[in-house]
Amino acid sequence: MADYKEIVGTRVKAVSANPSDPSDGQVWYNSTDEALKYKKANAGGAWSSGGNLNTGRSSGGMFGPQTAAIYFGGRLAPGPGAQDIVESYNGSSWTEVGDLNEAKDETAGAGTSTAGLAFGGEPTTANVESWNGSSWTETTNMNTAKDYHSNAGTQTSALAFGGEDPGGLTAKTESWNGSAWTEVNDLNTGRDQGGSAGTDNTSALMFMGDTVGNGTATDKTEQWNGSSWTEVGDLNTSGRFGAGCGTSTLAMAMGRYHPSSSNWDLCEHWNGSSWSEVADLALGRYFTPSHGGTQGAGLLTGGQAGPGGPNKQNTEEFSSVFQITPE
């Protein structure tokens, strides 16, 4: 029988931790915090400060949820200079862990803090490395070298899509099954510098990016169903170099580069058919990585807050879970 706690005459389920992805309006009692909590509709939500990176970087890769993430690679300053640095986040602080075998930026990844994958990156490479929670091992390369690409999935079921290959902008998609990469159907429109979300190689979302190759930002979104990409609802504000998290039907777009600096802090929520604006970041930025968090528990770290500006160490955490305070 489920454990419930009676509060003000209403029976509410008691749990030791907040649900990982509660539905809008869901109410529960957190027995650890000894507090009644609820999931606010995604028109709301709020950002709060998390622990700083030990080394400020932009253009790295990340995987894992809000409380257990891995940030790898990146660059220390605007311009070339790929890094092999890796840091692990526990929900409050970052710790340096085992370095990549191959330094890279403009890279992407998939998985969890104990079982992840890093693939591609700049200098343009097809290199793939597998993470076991303490060290990296090189594994089967992608079929095509790429950077500025997007990502979704897990260590054994991942997607790499879009980006730049040696021929320029690409629409190519590659699917990973845990042992080999297979080229599958292309995006409808090639692009790089996009944000993404998705749980495995059968379900993903790509948004923002540059579809022209000259730094022009787009608002276009495409959804992957395991066999093909379909164009779906546009973002409210175009952008590139933004981050994402969630699933193909419930996702977040976090930050972005846009010609107007007033839009760098914009965040939007995807409900499966359309985008709506949610709470802005405290620090507008871009060159930040997508990761495996949920649409109600996003994580944003590092990046740049202006052209040619220094890289950031700041981390922000998004939450749409709120505590009910008795009157």
The pLDDT score that the predictor gives to residue 6 is 57
Residue 202 has pLDDT above 90, yes or no: yes
What does the pLDDT look like over 221-264, one tens digit per residue? 999 999 999 999 999 999 999 999 999 999 999 999 998 888 99
pLDDT > 70 fraction of the chain, expressed in percent and rounded: 91
pLDDT band at 40 (very low <50, low <70, confident <90, very high): low
Residue 1 pLDDT class (50, 70, 90 cuts): very low
- The answer, yes or no, to whether residue 324 has pLDDT greater than 60, is yes
- Tell me the percentage of the chain whose pLDDT exceeds 90: 76
Query: Per-residue pLDDT for 145 more than 90?
Result: yes
Q: 177 vs 28, 75, 241, 297, CA distance in Å? A: 37, 29, 27, 27
Of the two residues 45 and 66, the one the predictor is more confident about is 66
pTM for this structure?
Answer: 0.89
The pLDDT value given to residue 241 = 96
Q: What is the mean pLDDT of the chain?
A: 91
Most confident of 26-35, 42-51, 150-159: 150-159
| pLDDT score recorded for residue 321 | 65
Identify the architecture of domain 46-320 in CATH. Answer: 6 Propeller (2.120)
Q: Say if strands 267-270 and 251-254 run parallel, antiparallel, or are unpaired.
A: antiparallel
Whether the per-residue pLDDT at 21 is higher than 60: the answer is yes
Q: Where in the chain is the domain with CATH 2.120.10.80?
A: 46-320
Q: According to the model, what pLDDT value does residue 80 have?
A: 65
pLDDT tens for each residue of 276-316: 999 999 999 999 999 988 888 999 999 998 877 788 999 99
In 101-202, where do the E strands start and end? 108-111, 116-121, 125-131, 136-139, 150-153, 158-161, 164-165, 168-169, 173-176, 181-184, 195-200
pLDDT reading at 42 higher than 60: no
- What's the pLDDT at 22? 77
CB 280 within 8 A of CB 318: no
Contact 105, 75 (CB under 8 A): yes
pLDDT at 12: 80
Tell me which DSSP letter residue 264 carries.
T
pLDDT digits 0-9 by tens, 176-199: 999 999 999 999 999 999 999 999
At residue 274, the pLDDT reads 96
pLDDT in tens, 50-71: 999 999 999 999 999 999 999 9
What was the pLDDT predicted at 174? 98
pLDDT at position 109 is 97
Kindly state the average pLDDT of the residues 127-131.
Answer: 98
Omega of the bond prior to 123 within 30 degrees of 0, cis?
A: yes
Is the model's pLDDT at 43 over the cut of 70? Answer: no
CA pair distance 286, 300, nearest whole angstrom: 10
What pLDDT, on a 0 to 100 scale, did the predictor assign at position 3? Answer: 57
> Residue 92 and residue 107: Cα distance in Å, rounded?
24
Query: Given a cut of 80, is residue 9 above it in pLDDT?
Result: no
What confidence score (pLDDT) does residue 323 get?
A: 64
Residue pair 243/318 in contact (Cβ under 8 Å)? The answer is: no
